[in-house]
Amino acid sequence: SARSWLGRGGPFRLGIVLSSVIGGARIPAGPRSFRSTDPSRTAETVAEVSLADAGDLVAACRAARAAQDAWRDVPAPVRGQAVAAIGRLVEANKAALARVVTREVGKPYAEALGEVQEIADTCAFFLGEGRRLYGQTVPSEMPDKQLFTFRDPVGVVTVITAGNFPVAVPSWYIVPALLCGNAVVWKPAEYAAACAEAFYELFAHAGLPDGVLNVVYADGPETFRGLERALDEGLVDKVGFTGSTEVGSRIGELCGRHLQTPCLELGGKNPMVVTEDADLPLAVEGALFSGFGTAGQRCTSLGTAIVHESVHGEFVRLLDEATRAAAVGDPAGEVLFGPMIGERFADGFEKVLGWIGPGHTVYGSSATGRITAGAPRAGFAGDPEAGLFYHPVIVDGVGPGDELFMNETFGPLVGVTAYRTMDEAIALANAPGYGLSAAIYTTDPAKVFAFRRQISAGMVSVNNSTSGAEAHLPFGGNGRSGNGSRQSGMWVLDQFTRWQSMNWDTSGRLQKAQMDVLEI
């Protein structure tokens, strides 16, 4: 069973090079491979994957196309049963799957458990949707004429995901896509290959027919080449992508050429406005969780706290104090955050640290940059030389002239700035041009509604942090955060189905719409 497979160590079995699964079969290992390492101990390999090429991605789309014909005809309530079975397997393997997440991407175990729970929640939501996928009956302008709407699956859905939520975010696409009767080609992040394997095996054990879910391990350039060819050949009907704004816009371009609208879930520079009447300790707690949780590597991570000038000094003092007291280190223990996901993320964050300028005041545990034995941190738990651990950094005095203020940092760094009027706070919050998640801490309802109306954000939190979206509300962003598409809950059904309308005239006459309408 899947339980014993994960229990035995699953993808950690040594000496096995994982390869892509197309049409239910592993493809032979190719000449290039990728080693996914443990970010807490980068010398340790977690999984080795054979890298597929563009042709393999096209083949996977072809296999998906072939399998989708039969899957579409499986009644939606029965597809819902498959989703229920996946949910049960995820629940039964929760701890084992969370351990894989913690080990491979360095997410603290408690958060990893939450991430796995998010898959189960997604399954719980959609298994019932299999019995609902409603169409409508609609009144006609004319007598003896019936109007209907139907939801049909789009066909083949290609899903490309990042490694910061290596199992929850894929489930947001894959579970509803399958439920709606589509076949899926999933390109997970190669540095989260063990997570992808564990996820795939659970889905396969739930009894999905071969070819309905295909997994392709490929690097960025081969994925682009393959996706372009598959789109040219008409093998892809919808692309779902979670990742950087830059890559998302390239995917959008590619899809646009084929008149397709992808589902894009991109970066964020998520603001938190703290008003003069706010519960300050609550706001600080929220800033700590959303600024530093997952080492700042969530798309919903706090970017900048925009704090009323009358409480700004106190906010910074309390946040600095809380940050100094927070445990950082081995994600298997109880820590606020663990390592960066991988070298690529560590390098990216090093670059961001270079943006800190002379006009800024930097607070942090002891220094900025990497935690090493030479640059220690009080209370650090782990081997500082072995992993990609960074100090939490608070940078006060940032503004729209700074790269730090305008761009996502994807690391444990929180910017702070002060404001005078609510208009000024909202202008600052909107300035970077993202639009994913935004929070306001206030006790004044008038400020809540002024903020909600004027902020460009797909998600607004009131007296709660920017992170921690629930799995049945629309998730997604505006501007640099995406193309307005929304995931999760019933809203995502419009991504993975297309509406068909049908009119049926039972009058036996040609009744012409607009022309033969009865006068009263």
Residues 6+ apart with CB under 8 A from 31: none
C-alpha–C-alpha distance, residues 200 and 505, integer Å? 47
CB of 44 to ligand UN1, least distance (A): 25
CB of 72 to ligand UN1, least distance (A): 29
* Chain residues 393-432 in contact with ligand UN1, contact rule CB under 6 A: none
Instruction: Look at phi and psi of residue 513 and say left if phi exceeds 0, alpha if psi is from -120 to 50, else beta.
Output: beta
Give the helix/strand (H/E) hosting 269.
none
Q: Which two tokens stand for residue 95?
A: 């701890």
Q: How many residues bind ligand UN1 (CB under 6 A)?
A: 10
CB of 301 to ligand UN1, least distance (A): 8
C-alpha–C-alpha distance, residues 520 and 494, integer Å? 37
Residue 107 or 298 with smaller CB distance to ligand UN1:
298
CB of 80 to ligand UN1, least distance (A): 23
CB of 174 to ligand UN1, least distance (A): 15
Show the binding pattern over residues 154-173: x = contacts ligand UN1 (CB under 6 A), - = does not.
----------xx---x----
First-residue to last-residue Cα distance in the chain:
68
CB of 358 to ligand UN1, least distance (A): 32
What are the φ and ψ backbone dihedral angles of 13, each rounded to 5 degrees? -60, 125
Q: Is position 255 annotated as part of the catalytic site?
A: no
C-alpha–C-alpha distance, residues 180 and 237, integer Å? 13
Instruction: Look at phi and psi of residue 155 and say left if phi exceeds 0, alpha if psi is from -120 to 50, else beta.
Output: left
Residue 270 or 368 with smaller CB distance to ligand UN1:
270
Residue 50 or 300 with smaller CB distance to ligand UN1:
300
Among 242, 407, 483, 497, binds ligand UN1 (CB under 6 A): 242
* Chain residues 168-207 in contact with ligand UN1, contact rule CB under 6 A: 169
Residue 289 or 389 with smaller CB distance to ligand UN1:
289
Residue recorded with tokens 């006790």 = 443
Three-state secondary-structure class, residue 157: strand
C-alpha–C-alpha distance, residues 367 and 373, integer Å? 13
C-alpha–C-alpha distance, residues 204 and 93, integer Å? 14
Residue 66 or 282 with smaller CB distance to ligand UN1:
282
Closest Cα to residue 326, out of 398, 269, 393?
393
Residue 162 or 418 with smaller CB distance to ligand UN1:
162
DSSP structure class, residue 456: -
Q: Is 68 in the site for ligand UN1 (CB under 6 A)?
A: no
Is the four-CA dihedral 97, 99, 103, 107 of positive or negative sign?
Answer: positive
Q: Which two tokens stand for residue 464?
A: 């709660």
What are the φ and ψ backbone dihedral angles of 305, each rounded to 5 degrees? -90, 125
424-445 as b/e, with b when 16 or more CB fall inside 10 Å?
ebbebbbbbebbbbbbbbbeee
* Chain residues 250-309 in contact with ligand UN1, contact rule CB under 6 A: 298-300
* Chain residues 452-511 in contact with ligand UN1, contact rule CB under 6 A: 467-469
Annotated active-site residue in 61, 123, 263, 299: 299
CB of 502 to ligand UN1, least distance (A): 38
CB of 298 to ligand UN1, least distance (A): 4
Closest Cα to residue 84, out of 165, 151, 175?
175
Residue 68 or 304 with smaller CB distance to ligand UN1:
304
Residue 300 or 368 with smaller CB distance to ligand UN1:
300
Length of the chain, in residues: 520
CB 195 within 8 A of CB 165: no
Q: Can you give the binding site for ligand UN1, defined by CB under 6 A? A: 164-165, 169, 242, 298-300, 467-469
Catalytically annotated residues: 299
